[in-house]
Amino acid sequence: MMKTQMANELVSTDSLNDLRARLRQFTAERHWEQFHTPKNLASALIVEAAELLEPFQWLSSGRADELGAEKLQAVRHEMADVMAYLIMLAEQLNIDLIAATNEKIHLNALKYPSDIVRGDARKYDEYK
């Protein structure tokens, strides 16, 4: 069980459903539902994903050991923003993220058979 400190309260975040409920409550308390259309959430997700890239900009290789504590913390927070917007977007579109991810892993396994693509990062249509 992961626990986090938020606004002086200890919160357990055991599952995607727990996070979804907390995000729903956070949004409702601020009356932000009116702004959380799928388009707006998708736009916010892209902005946060771009912000996730910023700490890696200008690093030699972009590996974790180049980040340092401050940039790692920034990455951590941007990852949380990306995840929050993705969860809220999935809720608006009634998409089960776990099921969708499992489906996508299966589809990718078909597109990228391990015995053919092992150690090679080309796009699937370049293997024919």
Q: What is the pLDDT of residue 14?
A: 77
Look-up: residue for tokens 């993705």?
86
pLDDT band per the 50, 70, 90 thresholds, residue 2:
very low
The number of distinct structural domains making up the chain is 1
Determine, yes or no, domain membership for 29.
no
Residue span of the structural domain in which 52 resides: 36-95
Specify the CATH number for the domain of residue 66.
1.10.287.1080
For residue 9, being part of any structural domain is answered with no
Report whether pLDDT(122) > 80.
yes
φ and ψ at 3, to 5 degrees?
Answer: -120, 140
Of the pLDDT bands very low, low, confident and very high (cuts 50, 70, 90), residue 1 is: very low
pLDDT recorded at residue 53: 96
Closest residue by Cα to residue 56 from 34, 89, 78: 78
Average pLDDT over residues 6-32: 83
pLDDT at 6 over 70: no
Q: What is the pLDDT of residue 12?
A: 60
